[in-house]
Amino acid sequence: MIRILFVCHGNICRSTMGEFVMKDIVNKQGLAGAFHIESSATHTDEIWNGAGSPVYPPARAKLREHGIGTDDNELGVSAKRARLTSRTDYDKFDFIIGMDSANMRNLNGIFGGDPEHKLHKMLDYTDREGDVADPWYTGNFDATWRDVSEGCHGLFRSILTDKRFSKELSQFDASSDDSFEHSDHLTYDDFPRG
């Protein structure tokens, strides 16, 4: 199983958008069984007395606008609650995706480094550098959607072309001879093309 953890400051906007965009992508490709996808926070700002806040309403509205979190494509959006990243998450996930430079510094602190090179910034999987701006402060959920969607699609394509994951992916491809071959098998491709 390919395990991905998306991380931001509070786990109510950017990382939850990453979690559900990626779940939508793998579901549409018929590969949901090959993936385990979660999201978490680097801080407890949205976790009160052990209970995490739900997906921030404007983030949830942006997901719904793109057909995610709807009655016919719920994917667990309504049940999602913020959770704190733990030191043990490093061993549980293959990819740990931070949204900005501050998240990356915090993750390195939580995990005591990145000896297995699992930590990546979301925009590392796009054709531009930088941070996914926090819409809690900017109010610009369109920009966040674009960055998260492009980053998730880029990450997905990177996984498809990574030989380490051929075996897991080939189990879900009836025509496969144990070598899942990249994008020729994409059954639904809604990658935003600038």
Active-site entry in 14, 60, 89, 152? 14
pLDDT at residue 193 in the model: 35
Q: Which of 100, 134, 147, 173 is catalytic?
A: 134
Strand order in the sheet with 95-98: 35-41, 2-8, 95-98, 119-121
Asked if residues 94 and 35 have their Cβ atoms less than 8 Å apart, the reply is no
Distance CA 35, CA 63 (A): 20
What's the pLDDT at 190?
52
Does 189 participate in catalysis according to the annotation?
A: no
H helices of 67-186, in order, are 89-92, 101-111, 135-138, 141-160, 166-170
CATH for 2-185 is: 3.40.50.2300
134 is catalytic: yes
Q: What was the pLDDT predicted at 167?
A: 84
Residue 8 known to be catalytic: yes
Domain ranges of the chain: 2-185
Comparing C-alpha atoms, which of 31, 2, 18, 17 is closest to residue 187?
Answer: 31
Which amino acid, 83?
Answer: R
From CA 32, how far away is CA 188, in angstroms rounded?
A: 14
> Running along the chain, 194 residues long, what does each successive block of 10 average in pLDDT?
97 98 95 96 94 96 96 95 98 98 98 97 96 95 96 95 87 54 49 39
